[in-house]
Amino acid sequence: MRKKIVAANWKMNMTQAESARFVESLLVDLGDILDVEVVIIPPFTAIARVTESLGKAQNIKVGAQNMHWERNGAFTGEISSALLRDLFVRYVVLGHSERRSLFGETDEMVNLKVRAAHEAALRPIVCVGETLEQREKGKVEKVLSTQLRGSLADLGEKELLETVIAYEPVWAIGTGKVATAAQAQEAHAFIRGTLSKISDETTADKIRIQYGGSVKPDNARELMSQADIDGALVGGASLDPRSFAQIVKAAQKEE
């Protein structure tokens, strides 16, 4: 059984004070949730404040939105795995489509980062997904396969098991256009099939694959009830603690 994982990607939003207020409100709703893994992914500047505000609530983890593959050195403006570990970060989002399209990240760069994350015992959330043009040209499988094979190159079984994949169709991110549950499930099943070719079926069966792209409280349950959808990576709707909490609750098994 794969434990569902729901993560809040705040992107370039949330001051320290806003982050603390968010956590305070979230703990009221999710303070004792144990059957879903919850991850908050603030901007670097609010990571320490989120960790401090979470206090003893060890059921909620903290992530980062990016990192460089070198551990330290002359890389002005960059953040490394060692610096993230120093802030008690557990997860790191790598290869988000905004990093790929706005900052020129390639699969090779994502792979360097994924391997550096594992070396530092950080768990990467590796994002893959096609653009609308690629979907309309029938290239979804080719794009996903290339991104997965490139980003996950040279990982061993243990590292793959500690990697989370996020399927985020680029046309659904921040657009309000959500993939239908059937479209998302089809892509997730293809991703799992590709993971089984990269490793083996037993390993692929244990790897969690999140869906991301305009997830909201009203579409979250249907998406996350699909066989191969193991949680959500949430952007816009994660900025409001009540709506994020509702999405996390939608990942819980119905009584």
Closest CA relative to residue 144, chosen from 157, 131, 125: 131
Of 112-120, 155-163, 185-193, 231-239: span binding ligand PEP (CB under 6 A): 231-239
Residue at token pair 């009830």: 225
What residues numbered 173-192 form the site for ligand PEP, per CB under 6 A?
173-174
**Residue closer to ligand PEP, measured from CB, 158 or 177:** 177
Of 80-88, 111-119, 137-145, 234-242: span binding ligand PEP (CB under 6 A): 234-242
**Among the listed residues 63, 214, 219, 223, the single contact to ligand PEP using CB under 6 A:** 214
What type of residue is 145? S
**Among the listed residues 37, 168, 228, 230, the single contact to ligand PEP using CB under 6 A:** 168
236 forms part of the interface with ligand PEP (CB under 6 A): yes
Q: Which of 96, 105, 118, 188 is catalytic?
A: 96
70 included as an active-site residue:
no
**Residue closer to ligand PEP, measured from CB, 199 or 236:** 236
**Residue closer to ligand PEP, measured from CB, 70 or 222:** 222
31 forms part of the interface with ligand PEP (CB under 6 A): no
Given the rule CB under 6 A, which residues bind ligand PEP? Answer: 9, 168, 173-174, 212-215, 233-237
Which residues have a catalytic role annotated? 96, 168
